Chain A
Amino acid sequence: MSVTIYVPRDASALSLGAESVAQALAREIEKRRLDATIVRNGSRGMFWLEPLVEVETGEGRIAYGPVKASDVPGLLDAGLLQGGAHALRLGPTEEIPYLRNQQRLTFARVGVIDPTSVASYVAHGGFQGLRNALSMTPEQIVQAVIDSGLRGRGGAAFPTGIKWKTVLEQKATQKYIACNADEGDSGTFSDRMLMEGDPLSLIEGMTIAGLAVGATQGYIYLRVEYPHAHRALKEAIAAAREARYLGRDILGSGRHFDIEVRLGAGAYVCGEETSMLESLEGRRGEVRVRPPLPAVKGLFGQPTVVNNVVTLGTVPTILHKGAKFYQDFGVGRSRGTLPIQLAGNIRRGGLVERAFGVTLRELLYDYGGGSATGRPIRAVQVGGPLGAYIPESQFDVKVDYEALAEIGALLGHGGIVAFDDTVNMARMARYAMEFCALESCGKCTPCRIGSTRGVEVIDRIIAGRERERNLRQLEKLCETMLHGSLCGLGGMTPYPVQSAMRHFPEDFRAPVK
């Protein structure tokens, strides 16, 4: 019987040489006339072990990593196909503590299946949620999502079911599902991993959303920086259409839903939902004034569900296993699980899906293993460029929406970027303002002008010019941006700036070099 070997096609794995590993394996298999098949899976999300090669054996999947192309002949000599002993052998994949100690619901199939094979997806529980949804009324589907407690995983954490209910209640001849795949936050890559590793779950989630609110057309607004995800999505959409899970008359139900992928063009602000809708319509990505909400007047003026990739990718689990199953995970008002991303200066960077309530410290040290450089972790930024910097003294905070809000931070899209003690927090505050100035859509003054002034004021502080006066000025500027901006870009840039000033004041008063 042919042995199955898995080599990821995930972009991060490829960035570390997975393609040459796959090619070397194919060459050796051919040369040695071995009966083996290579499947290009997603990543398990343990990036310090990538490229991670797995082989299917009688005792389950055995992992080897990190594998270089030059390791391949030696691995085969050592009996790779039988899971043989080798210095790179990591044992059964699922037993690696990093993975074993996770609660993977949304990411259950990522790294496990062949991402663009409908058969592989179905064999692992795929499309069960859609089948259930097809036998439910729209109201029942929406109620299930409300009962699950699912909140928007893009960052805003708005209850998904409530949003769907608003769209369902609108009278319109055309409604849309718009998936926000403009994952621009530094330190986040869960959308990318899901789209590359299990794109059919997103397709299924969007289709269920369509059935729930009466939409027949979906758009995925994908950032242009993700060409690998783009390829995976296109292949998966074609495969789903071919198998009648997408398109006209889904599984003979008489219901229609189709999806088109549209590419962004390198504007961070287009991750803001109204800016994204403008961009999808082919215009400058300028933020719209709300109300009206997109749920009432969204894409092309029609009622539109705007949800993030991970949010929509979680919907099939809820419809398959039930609202209660999902709701049983988590704490307080943060229900379910969150795919957390450990990034930056961290020894074991990757994806950790856990129920809400795990602490930052557990994530950084138990999973992450401390900094990559071996120096103390001085600060982490949670929630992307608009997220607060958190000092070591607050690492016992629980990762849930409310607990982070209580310490003046935010969870955002669940990215955690670690910095060691060489970081200069005044420079990071300056960068936050610089980034805002660069990415501002220009529609509102506090963001457009405030960010540029912010860079100048911080430059004066760093240069030691009238420090106290400029520090007060910076506080005032932050307050203006916080309260006066139209959207989160200008409105949240003060988070990293003010948290850096609050927790690391010494960096703003350092002697001038």
Chain B
Amino acid sequence: MKALDPTQRETVNRIIAQHKDRPGPLLEVLHGVQDALGYVPADAVPLIADGLNLSRAEVHGVVTFYHHFRHAPPGRHVVQLCRAEACQSMGAEGLAAHAKKRLGVDFHQTTADGKFTLEPVFCLGNCACSPAAMIDGELYGRVTPERFDELVKEWEGRP
């Protein structure tokens, strides 16, 4: 893991300063760091621990408890496929198999060209329009394999 560069370090410190006087600030800080850097770098952990007067173990424990926090930079776009029951009833398993094949990666992996990271998710609240997917926070419903391919094409062109 490469060390934080000066800009990243500054970003992390700024986020800590923003939240440290609020009650129960750790999750807010971690969200801030991931939103800014795309993940929570291991080297941010000691900075956060110092800033919030917590032990490194405590911070590490929280980062690793929550599925949302990533430990490595994601691809340019994050594709989340719902794996929960409602989506399963409408073919989510087949869609997941198709998506893995189309992108050439498994869940939690990033495509070789760095364009997409594929993540499983358990419920996007779109259960009447299953199967559901989310790309960079945009929600999609009734995602067939054909629709998935269209979305990949569309998002490939986006910055």
Contact stretch, chosen from B18-26, B71-79, B97-105, B110-118 = B18-26
Q: Can you list 18 A-B contacts with CB-CB less than 8 angstroms, sorted by A residue number?
A: A11-B124, A15-B141, A47-B128, A47-B129, A186-B86, A189-B125, A189-B126, A225-B124, A263-B28, A267-B67, A268-B122, A282-B24, A282-B62, A343-B128, A345-B130, A385-B85, A431-B85, A439-B122
A280 with B123, Cβ < 8 A, contacts A15-B129, A227-B137, A267-B67 known: no
Contacts of B27 in A (CB 8 A): 262-265, 279, 282
Considering only CB atoms, which chain B residue lies closest to A418 in the complex? B89
Contacts of A439 in B (CB 8 A): 122
Report Cα–Cα, A226/B137, bound state, in Å: 9
A134 shortest CB reach to chain B, Å: 27
Report Cα–Cα, A183/B86, bound state, in Å: 14
Whether the Cβ atoms of A417 and B127 lie closer than 8 Å is yes
Contacts of B47 in A (CB 8 A): none
B26 shortest CB reach to chain A, Å: 3
Report Cα–Cα, A449/B128, bound state, in Å: 33
A151 shortest CB reach to chain B, Å: 23
Does A341 make an interface contact (CB < 8 A)? yes
Interface residues of A (CB under 8 A from B): 11-12, 14-16, 47-48, 50, 183-189, 191-192, 224-228, 262-268, 279-285, 300, 341-346, 349-350, 372, 381, 385, 415, 417-420, 423, 428, 431, 435, 438-439, 441
Contacts of B127 in A (CB 8 A): 186-189, 341, 343-344, 349, 415, 417
Considering only CB atoms, which chain B residue lies closest to A277 in the complex? B24
Query: Which of A225, A265, A343, A441 is B86 in contact with, Cβ under 8 Å?
Result: A343
Q: Residues 22-44 of chain B: 1 if any A CB is under 8 Å from the residue's CB, otherwise 0?
A: 01111110110000000000000
Chain B interface extent, by class: 35 or more
Whether the Cβ atoms of B139 and A283 lie closer than 8 Å is no
A30 shortest CB reach to chain B, Å: 25
Whether the Cβ atoms of A15 and B66 lie closer than 8 Å is no
Given contacts A187-B86, A225-B121, 14 further A-B contacts (CB under 8 A): A15-B140, A16-B129, A184-B123, A189-B125, A224-B68, A225-B134, A226-B125, A264-B68, A268-B122, A345-B89, A345-B130, A349-B127, A417-B127, A441-B65
Looking at chain B's contact residues, the main secondary structure is: loop
A372 with B25, Cβ < 8 A, contacts A186-B84, A284-B65, A428-B85 known: no
Whether the Cβ atoms of A349 and B129 lie closer than 8 Å is yes
Considering only CB atoms, which chain B residue lies closest to A280 in the complex? B24
Report Cα–Cα, A185/B24, bound state, in Å: 26
A194 shortest CB reach to chain B, Å: 11
Interface residues of B (CB under 8 A from A): 23-28, 30-31, 58, 61-62, 65-69, 84-90, 121-130, 132, 134, 137-142
A387 shortest CB reach to chain B, Å: 9
Query: Which of B23, B62, B121, B126 is A12 in contact with, Cβ under 8 Å?
Result: B126
Report Cα–Cα, A423/B123, bound state, in Å: 19
Contacts of A418 in B (CB 8 A): 89
B20 shortest CB reach to chain A, Å: 11
Report Cα–Cα, A438/B66, bound state, in Å: 11
Whether the Cβ atoms of A12 and B66 lie closer than 8 Å is no
Considering only CB atoms, which chain A residue lies closest to B88 in the complex? A431
Report Cα–Cα, A419/B122, bound state, in Å: 18
Contacts of A228 in B (CB 8 A): 139
Considering only CB atoms, which chain B residue lies closest to A283 in the complex? B62
Considering only CB atoms, which chain B residue lies closest to A226 in the complex? B125
Considering only CB atoms, which chain A residue lies closest to B66 in the complex? A265
B24 shortest CB reach to chain A, Å: 4
Considering only CB atoms, which chain A residue lies closest to B119 in the complex? A266
Report Cα–Cα, A283/B89, bound state, in Å: 34
Contacts of A282 in B (CB 8 A): 24-28, 62
Query: Which of B65, B68, B90, B126 is A345 in contact with, Cβ under 8 Å?
Result: B90
A11 with B86, Cβ < 8 A, contacts A16-B141, A281-B24, A282-B24 known: no
B95 shortest CB reach to chain A, Å: 14
Report Cα–Cα, A227/B138, bound state, in Å: 9
Whether the Cβ atoms of B86 and A417 lie closer than 8 Å is yes
Considering only CB atoms, which chain B residue lies closest to A225 in the complex? B124
B18 shortest CB reach to chain A, Å: 14
